[in-house]
């Protein structure tokens, strides 16, 4: 039996999320303050997981964070894997944990926006079941365009609540 070279753990620590995202160039504090992120994590309105190498070092090698939307979706705000740990399945494992947690709270699906020239991330999201559902011009601060992707969740069945 082969063991994975990493482990995935849930987190509610805003500080660790912010630092884990930096190597992957996700500047979390550009769009949310540490205080607001802590507030949302404490109330379960943000779900986050970290990846650590095996044997476990102090610093995480990857992070995923999703925010719960009123419409019953989980919007992925951060997904970042340290450059030295890419193409090992870390992001796939982080996504699986987020997906399970989203299903547990009966979310309808996962959504994400991507810069439209982020081809690597687009390939990744397609590999884990996301599909393009639209484009938004001038979406980011620098005026660049976003691709919007959606991944429905299995719990999307009759009697399923429309709101979280
Ligand atoms: C996108 C990102 C999260 C992928 O992380 P990862 O841990 O390397 O991804 P995985 O190893 O789980 O990859 C799974 C599959 O996705 C696809 N994929 C991932 N990275 C890819 C790349 N650079 N080029 C092409 N396909 C890629 C492949 O199909 C891959 O399977 P394979 O390795 O068997 O071919 C990582 O490259 C990253 O942190 N990028 C910078 C931050 C970013 O763009 N985040 C997304 C915006 S929210």
- Separation of CA 125 and ligand 1 centre (Å): 8
Q: Check residue 135 and give its pLDDT.
A: 95
Residues with CB under 6 A from ligand 1: 24-25, 76, 79-81, 86-92, 112, 114, 118, 120-121, 123-124, 127
Structure tokens at 154: 């299995």
Tell me the per-residue pLDDT of 56-80, one tens digit each, with 9 for 90 and over.
Answer: 777 899 999 999 998 899 999 999 9
Terminal CA-CA length for the chain: 39
| Percent of the chain residues past pLDDT 70, beyond the cut | 91
| Residue showing tokens 């849930």 | 10
For residue 82, CA distances in Å to 1, 91, 154 come to 26, 10, 30
Q: For domain 6-152, give its CATH number from 3.40.50.1220, 3.40.50.1100, 3.20.20.300, 3.40.630.30.
A: 3.40.630.30
Q: Check residue 161 and give its pLDDT.
A: 45
Q: Which of 25, 84, 88, 91 to mutate to test the pocket of ligand 1 (most atoms within 8 A of CB)?
A: 91
User: Which of these ranges, 55-69, 90-104, 115-129, has the smallest mean pLDDT?
Assistant: 55-69
- Separation of CA 40 and ligand 1 centre (Å): 27
Residues 49/13, Cβ–Cβ less than 8 Å:
no
With 60 as the cut, is the pLDDT of residue 159 above it?
no
Q: Which of 61, 74, 82, 86 to mutate to test the pocket of ligand 1 (most atoms within 8 A of CB)?
A: 86
- Separation of CA 79 and ligand 1 centre (Å): 10
Residues 61/6, Cβ–Cβ less than 8 Å:
yes
* Domain locations in the chain as residue ranges: 6-152
Tell me the per-residue pLDDT of 18-56, one tens digit each, with 9 for 90 and over.
Answer: 988 887 667 888 888 999 999 999 999 999 999 999 877
The minimum-distance atom of ligand 1 relative to the CA of 81 is: 39
CA distance 53 to 55: 6
The minimum-distance atom of ligand 1 relative to the CA of 86 is: 8
Q: Check residue 21 and give its pLDDT.
A: 85
Q: How confident is the model at residue 95 (pLDDT cuts 50, 70, 90)?
A: very high
> If residue 146 lies in a helix (H) or strand (E), which one and from where to where?
strand 146-152
CA distance 54 to 6: 5
């Amino acid at each position: 039996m082969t063991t994975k070279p990493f482990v995935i753990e849930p987190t509610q620590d805003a500080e660790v999320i912010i630092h884990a995202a930096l190597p992957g160039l996700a500047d979390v504090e550009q769009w949310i303050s540490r205080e607001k992120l802590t507030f949302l994590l404490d109330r379960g309105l943000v779900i986050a997981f970290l990846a650590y190498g095996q044997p476990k070092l102090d610093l995480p090698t990857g992070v995923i964070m999703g925010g719960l939307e009123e419409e019953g979706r989980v919007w992925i705000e951060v997904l970042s894997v340290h450059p030295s740990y890419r193409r090992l399945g870390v992001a796939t494992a982080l996504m699986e944990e987020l997906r399970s947690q989203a299903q547990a709270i009966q979310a309808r699906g996962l959504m994400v926006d991507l810069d439209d020239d982020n081809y690597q991330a687009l390939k990744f999201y397609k590999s884990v079941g996301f599909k393009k559902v639209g484009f938004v011009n001038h979406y980011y601060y620098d005026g660049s365009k976003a691709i919007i992707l959606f991944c429905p969740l299995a719990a999307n069945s009759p009697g399923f609540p429309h709101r979280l």
